Amino acid sequence: MQYALLIYTEPKVMESLSEAEREALSADYYALRDQPGVLGGAGLQPVTTATTIRLAAGQPLVTDGPFADTKEVFGGYYLIEAENLDRATELAALVPALRLGGAVEIRPILGQAS
């Protein structure tokens, strides 16, 4: 099965890191990208760059900021192939964000032959 690992981080924690810590973290994310079973993924620019669009009275309404105003923000994802949820959870446990108080939401991809 394929799963998306949706990574949520606390911007405050990220900002508090030194340059060297940030580089080490980035290297860990790239290393995870090379694990067997990881098909792809991407990291996102900080949430301060986010723009949200919805329809208001049928018209597009563009606003500054993320969709949900929460302490943790969506920061990136991996797309993985795993035999079942337990295997997917093992891979998700390696996401560096977890060490910094973040969380990873594991979601199966739609439209797979089960």
Determine which residue in the list 85, 99, 101, 105 makes contact with other proteins, applying CB under 8 A. Answer: 85
| Total residues in contact with other proteins, by rule CB under 8 A | 13
Q: Which is nearer to other proteins, 34 or 83 (CB)?
A: 83
Stretch that binds other proteins, among 27-35, 61-69, 95-103, 106-114 (CB under 8 A): 106-114
Q: Are strands 73-81 and 59-64 parallel, antiparallel or unpaired?
A: unpaired
Residue 86 makes contact with other proteins by CB under 8 A: yes
Q: What is the CA radius of gyration of the chain?
A: 16
The two tokens of residue 35 are 């694990």
Distance of alpha carbon 25 from its chain centroid, rounded? 14
Determine which residue in the list 3, 8, 77, 78 makes contact with other proteins, applying CB under 8 A. Answer: 3
The two tokens of residue 98 are 């977890």
